[in-house]
Amino acid sequence: MTTTRGLEGVVAAQSAICSIVDGVLCYGGINVDELAENATFEEVIYLLWHGVLPKREQLDELKKDLGINAVVPKEVIDAIRSYPAGVHPMSVLRTAVSTLALYDVEAQDMSKEANYRKSIRLMVQTPTIIAAYARIRKGLEPVQPNPEYCVAKNFLYMLNGTEPTDTAVKAFDTALILHADHEFNASTFAARVTVATLTDIYSGVVSAIGTLKGPLHGGANEQVAAMLGEIGSVENVEPFIHNALENKVKIMGFGHRVYKDGDPRAKWLRQMSKELTTQIGRSELYEMSVKIEELVTGEKGLKPNVDFYSASVYIALGLETDLYTPIFAISRMSGWTAHIMEQFENNRLIRPRADYIGPVNQHYVPIDQR
Ligand SMILES: CC(=O)SCCNC(=O)CCNC(=O)[C@H](O)C(C)(C)COP(=O)(O)OP(=O)(O)OC[C@H]1O[C@@H](n2cnc3c(N)ncnc32)[C@H](O)[C@@H]1OP(=O)(O)O
Ligand SMILES: O=C([O-])CC(=O)C(=O)O
């Protein structure tokens, strides 16, 4: 038996959704750079779910379906109101999505059509849940989704209760495109393992949310913001980073299991960080980030991943730090559901083996003789 720590380099299954070849990321064969430049998040959702870009009528239909399904059952909002104060929004999301399943009459319907309809609901009810919780915890009433708005605009609208600027919507939409899918990353793989038992799509997504939450995965963006806050100024970057690296502390937002020459998504977020932090008069956030990058890349050869510059982008958009990972989940819901539907199409139970290294030939010893 051979083992590979963390399954590094192991090809676990075939997939036609997303590829990473020689450091180039594509969704449905289209370079993510082209999508970030030209597409909308709704087009990307369609691409991930159907494998091709939508024609105009297909996109209109998807947008209509997304628009009318964003309302979350009142019972779920009431459940959110009952959660203890101060819990992390990712924990809230995990529990609330699980609660959603209880109110979905199609939750246990395993047909392809029902799974597609559930994917639509999960896709747009996730932002509604996050925005509702962000308001409820401040003593504010949730804002109902506007069926006419795209996912990006609707989230910012439900969060703040005001019309977002076009600049904010565009930046947020691009961030959603960049985070949408990443082949067998940990959370997507968790979702696939879960549904490969032929359990329901909600169970798969709940596994994925719990997996994304960890700081080695989606939780890193929140940690990057905390680090920027702790460093505080460009002058403090050098001593902070030297000290951290000397003490073998991981610098969040750097390194990647697959990309060793850099994450192609980071350059987009870097540019957005530059523009948005300058616009709000907080360019020091970008400058600090660039200095951190210089040092970490210079000293360790590690490059920023998608989570690094997304932190300063989200700070510039005025978003609360603990919402960054839930925002990642809004985007990744498109990829998770695409992978779950693909898994169901050609399912086989995912069940690897363990290389047992524990003691052998032991015997049961009665408790008072141990
Ligand atoms: C959306 C995403 O999920 S992107 C990833 C988000 N996560 C982060 O940004 C957290 C910080 N980064 C990391 O922890 C890692 O780089 C991971 C988890 C992303 C990838 O991990 P792996 O491929 O398993 O690399 P691994 O953790 O084995 O690191 C290899 C070496 O580089 C070091 N290293 C890796 N990342 C970092 C980092 N961010 N800061 C400092 N050192 C690092 C490790 O300490 C290790 O050093 P060693 O060989 O001296 O022990
Ligand atoms: O692929 C990974 O391991 C992590 C990642 O970058 C992502 O999920 O976007």
Residue 31, SS3 per DSSP: strand
> Residue 19 pairs with which residues in a beta bridge?
26
Tens-digit pLDDT profile for residues 248-296: 999 999 999 999 999 999 999 999 999 999 999 999 999 999 999 999 9
User: Which one of 8, 11, 185, 305 would you pick to mutate in the ligand 2 pocket, going by the greatest count of ligand atoms within 8 A of its CB?
Assistant: 185
- Ligand 2 atom nearest the C-alpha of 181 is 9
Tell me the average pLDDT of the chain. 97
Q: For residue 134, how far is the Cα from the chain centroid?
A: 17
Backbone region of residue 111 per phi and psi (left: phi > 0; alpha: psi in -120 to 50; beta: other values): beta
DSSP 359: -
Token digits of residue 316: 């510039």
Q: What pLDDT does 88 receive?
A: 98
Token digits of residue 278: 């300058």
Residue indicated by tokens 């709940």: 206
Measured CA to CA, the distance from residue 55 to residue 360 in angstroms comes to 61
User: Which one of 32, 188, 213, 258 would you pick to mutate in the ligand 2 pocket, going by the greatest count of ligand atoms within 8 A of its CB?
Assistant: 258
Q: What pLDDT does 211 receive?
A: 98
Token digits of residue 166: 């076009």
Measured CA to CA, the distance from residue 32 to residue 253 in angstroms comes to 20
Protein residue whose Cα sits closest to atom 9 of ligand 2:
182
Other residues' Cβ atoms within 10 Å of the Cβ of residue 226: 13
User: Amino acid identity of 231?
Assistant: I
Measured CA to CA, the distance from residue 321 to residue 323 in angstroms comes to 5
Protein residue whose Cα sits closest to atom 43 of ligand 1:
250
Protein residue whose Cα sits closest to atom 16 of ligand 1:
255
Q: Where are the domains of the chain?
A: 15-216+324-345, 220-316
328 near 218, Cβ under 8 Å?
yes
Q: What pLDDT does 306 receive?
A: 97
Question: Can you tell me the ipTM of this complex?
Answer: 0.98
**CATH H-level superfamily of 15-216+324-345:** Citrate Synthase, domain 1 (1.10.580.10)
Q: What pLDDT does 1 receive?
A: 76
- Ligand 2 atom nearest the C-alpha of 263 is 6
Helix 324-345 and helix 89-102: axis angle, to 10°?
A: 40
**CATH H-level superfamily of 220-316:** Cytochrome P450-Terp, domain 2 (1.10.230.10)
pTM above 0.95, yes or no: yes
Tens-digit pLDDT profile for residues 290-340: 999 999 999 999 999 999 999 999 999 999 999 999 999 999 999 999 999
